[in-house]
Amino acid sequence: MKIVSYSIRDDEMPALKEWQAQHPDVEVQIEHELLTPESAAKAQGADGVVVYQQLPYDRATLQALHDAGINKMSLRNVGTDNIDMAAAKELGFQITNVSVYSPNAIAEHAAWLMGRLLRREPEYTAKINRHDLRWAPEIGREMRMQTVGVIGTGHIGRVLIDILKGFGAKIVCYDVFKNPELEKEGVYVDNLADLYQQADIVTVHVPSLKENIHMINDDSIAQMKDGVIIINVARGDLVDTDALIRGLDSGKVRAAGLDVYEKEVGVFNEDWEGKAFPDQRLENLLNRKNVIITPHTAFYTETAVKNMVQISHNCNVQLIKGEKADNLVKLD
């Protein structure tokens, strides 16, 4: 059995070596470059591929894999929105993802963003860097005094709620699919308008489905409390960037913490020092002292990376063996 693993990073190698030692019957061909129509040829003669989402898996890429004899692909990530599903189905692909790798990693990151913004850490950092060690006027706020609106109460949202409870924050939630335990606690509101009206902090933890794209927009921001903080560690296209900038300009939005950005592909995970920055809207946000941008690093912990590598390779073996694979992605 042979698997070709694309875009393997140095930080993934310890987990992959551990997995290889546990599966001596599987040959793993390591490729450091991304899966593209050109690099797909390197999978010739293999049984399956393991990949990581950074470029679109469009028809050309899937066709190239198919031409190399591959129709079993396992993602080391959750998101599947960059896959041409119609082409994948037509070409007979079986695809898996890693639906849960570490909810704690992402939930903790959301909590850190909230805490840093509440205590106005970016503003203090700017002052300290110029040796201004006075505390006023950047007075902070306490988490226990905040009402946090959590949109989406799946794995990540549920962990975040537990973290915030530890700080003493009041929680209000909205989800189409309610968690029975949370429902007993009475934290759900009937609609998003109710959540927006109550929350000092709004944090989104829902997938990038058609109905969720730009759910944070001019209309939703207008319904929020004055001085709201917006957090997005889920998917970039959940937030209309132009609407967020307008909200920050008007002061309606006090601050924002973003680990994702709707046009991040090709910009995040690149070194732009000394180069012309390619995105004016993102640069606008980066230059604000009340905005924290992290380049899609909420997932990036040792625990999460290990799970992503090992679960994806386990799934690929299941596909190759013709077994019922964990985390099988529906192509409809």
Per-residue pLDDT tens over the stretch 171-225: 999 999 999 999 999 999 999 999 999 999 999 999 888 999 999 999 999 999 9
pLDDT surpassing 90 at residue 4: yes
In a domain, 212, yes or no: yes
Q: pLDDT value at position 167?
A: 97
* Catalytic-role residue among 205, 235, 254, 313: 235
Q: What is the CATH number of the domain that holds 96?
A: 3.40.50.720
Known catalytic residue at 235? yes
165 shares a domain with 52: no
Instruction: Indicate whether 204 belongs to any domain.
Output: yes
Closest CA to 205 of 281, 111, 303, 97: 111
Both 62 and 155 in a single domain?
no
| 92 and 74 in a common domain | yes
Same domain, 86 and 186: no
48 pairs with which residues across the strands? 3
Query: Is residue 135 in some structural domain?
Result: yes
Residue 328 domain-assigned (yes or no):
no
pLDDT by residue (tens digit) across 86-127? 999 999 999 999 989 999 999 999 999 999 999 999 999 999
Return d(Cα 215, Cα 201) in angstroms, integer: 15
Is the same domain home to 113 and 262?
A: yes
Range of the domain at 90: 2-101+302-321
Confidence of residue 1 (pLDDT cuts 50, 70, 90): very high
Quick check: is 264 catalytic? yes
Does the predicted model carry a pTM greater than 0.75? yes
296 is catalytic: yes
Indicate the average pLDDT of the chain. 96
Q: Which residues, at least 6 apart from 63, have a Cβ–Cβ distance to it below 8 Å? A: 37, 87, 91
Same domain, 162 and 68: no
Residue 229 and residue 257 in one domain:
yes
For the residues 252-279, what does the mean pLDDT come to?
A: 95
Give me the catalytic one of 76, 120, 158, 296.
Answer: 296
